[in-house]
Amino acid sequence: MVARVIPVEPFDLVVFGGTGDLARRKILPGLYRRFRDGQMPAEARVIGAARRAMETDSYRAFARDAIEEEVAPARRDPDSLGAFLDRLDHVAIDAEGDEGWAELAARMHPDRVRAFYFSVAPRLFGPLAERLHAHGVADAEARIVVEKPFGQDQASARQLNATLAAHFGESQIYRIDHYLGKETVQNLMAVRFANILFEPLWNAQFVDHVQITVAETVGVGGRGGYYDAAGAMRDMVQNHLMQLLCLIAMEPPHRFDPQAVRDEKLKVIRALDPVAPGDIVRGQYAAAGGMNGYLQDVADPDSRTESFVALKAHLSNWRWKGTPFYLRTGKRLRARSSEIAVTFREPPHSIFGEAERWAENVLIIRLQPNEGIKLRVMIKEPGPGGMRLVNVPLDMSFAEALGENGAEIPDAYERLIMDVIRGNQTLFMRGDEVEAAWAWIDPLIAAWEERGSSPQPYEAGSSGPEEAAILMHRDGRRWRGIEP
């Protein structure tokens, strides 16, 4: 099956922070892949912007290195790479200064979609919006793409929303959460709303519980300064895990349209009950197996920041009353694995008698690695041993299902950038959604700051603190293993 690639209209994309880590690893390689697949038109241009002045040729050399590092040799070729690099340019601009803007304005093509990617530190989001407006670089149709983190709490998110809103309409603001750009996450909506199979069972009557896990093997790496001020709750739960929760729990929108989808997600966030202190576990990785502990990775030797969170959430609405949602994320865990597992209840009666062990039906939506969907079902054990039951997976890896001729699954960033150019906000967070998410998170953080509690240590390379397992055991359930 060969994926259809529909070209977007010509655009001018300015990447502020065009020489940064995100531009190097994700944005530039992603744009090249879209160009090579014929989705980014030949007239489109990408302008990198950063304080350090750079000749166009040097910026193209930077982009070439980035692409050669990030894009597999089989997915690149010299002709398309050369043609892509010809579309690149660079301007020297300080987001907090007033030079260079007139030059940038003069370079903008009058009849093209204008998009401005804010791939810079969050404190620069406001100054960039102000200057784009003040110097007439953005027109009424221009789009801005705002990276994470979007605020530190509800108050700062509200303030940032207000600053952006002073210069851009909500329809021009694209708050990026790259989890929403993942193939499987979108497939979650396709599976739920394009099949009759699941939706009738998708409620508290038939779903026992839901587990959402985002496990990383990396530590805080070079981001220690930022991470230590944020922690797993702000860095992962407030955005990525809550977005996944919304997509799992939301009501069917009346159409697959940005407002309708985001209205339904917002209702989920608003239906979340406050989490009881006993239903949250915070952890911090400790040195093990030759790996540093968290306290060796950050500047503050007494830091109480969590690198792991597990919590039990409840939704007070008709559909989900009584079905817990368990969320878990952490760094330096035993495998890199992100998945959502929807565990269904037992059938009301077993015709096979008590002796036959029953195992749950579980729908597993795997985000990474090996994006795909798996459904665990009971079947008869093969062979002449009578009616013995066994639980087996119906497994669909997207890479396999789409075959060798299928297009490479696009990276989340490149898909989302194309959505920006198309003017489709469905997979971007709306301002009220972000504020509502903070409103749920803020009291949880405030409560443990008030108590002055320290996170539970867990060994680097393990599955997290013992207390997280106990959170589940108390309810007679257990976490799925964190498997690569």
The three-state secondary structure class of 179 is helix
389 binds ligand NAP (CB under 6 A): no
Nearest distance from C-beta of residue 229 to ligand NAP, angstroms: 12
Please, which residue, 104 or 362, has the CB nearer to ligand NAP? Answer: 104
Interface pick for ligand NAP out of 47, 50, 173, 420 (rule CB under 6 A):
50
Interface pick for ligand NAP out of 17, 30, 181, 410 (rule CB under 6 A):
17
Please, which residue, 23 or 275, has the CB nearer to ligand NAP? Answer: 23
CA 416 to chain centre: 11
Extract the tokens encoding 286: 């400790």
Could you give the CA distance from residue 464 to residue 472 in angstroms, rounded to a whole number? 13
- R_g (Cα) of the chain, nearest Å: 24
Window contacting ligand NAP (CB under 6 A); options: 93-101, 165-173, 266-274, 349-357: 93-101
Task: For residue 332, give the DSSP letter.
Answer: S
Could you give the CA distance from residue 378 to residue 393 in angstroms, rounded to a whole number? 9
Window contacting ligand NAP (CB under 6 A); options: 44-52, 330-338, 371-379, 387-395: 44-52
Which regions of 101-234 does DSSP assign to beta strands (E)?
A: 113-118, 143-146, 173-175, 207-215
Window contacting ligand NAP (CB under 6 A); options: 33-41, 50-58, 80-88, 359-367: 50-58
130 binds ligand NAP (CB under 6 A): no
Instruction: Give the number of residues in contact with ligand NAP, rule: CB under 6 A.
Output: 22
Extract the tokens encoding 74: 């089989």
164 binds ligand NAP (CB under 6 A): no
Nearest distance from C-beta of residue 21 to ligand NAP, angstroms: 3
Nearest distance from C-beta of residue 209 to ligand NAP, angstroms: 30
What CA–CA distances, in Å, run from 195 to 198, 199, 252, 369?
A: 7, 8, 12, 25
Extract the tokens encoding 354: 């008590």
Which position among 240, 314, 349, 473 bears the catalytic label?
240
**Please, are residues 450 and 204 in contact by the beta-carbon 8 Å criterion?**
no
147 binds ligand NAP (CB under 6 A): yes
Nearest distance from C-beta of residue 32 to ligand NAP, angstroms: 17
- Identify whether 240 is a catalytic site residue: yes
21 binds ligand NAP (CB under 6 A): yes
Residue 256 CB neighbours (<10 A): 15
Could you give the CA distance from residue 265 to residue 280 in angstroms, rounded to a whole number? 23
7 binds ligand NAP (CB under 6 A): no
Could you give the CA distance from residue 90 to residue 16 in angstroms, rounded to a whole number? 10
User: Which residues are at the interface with ligand NAP (CB under 6 A)?
Assistant: 16-23, 50-52, 93-96, 119-122, 124, 147-148
Catalytic residues: 240
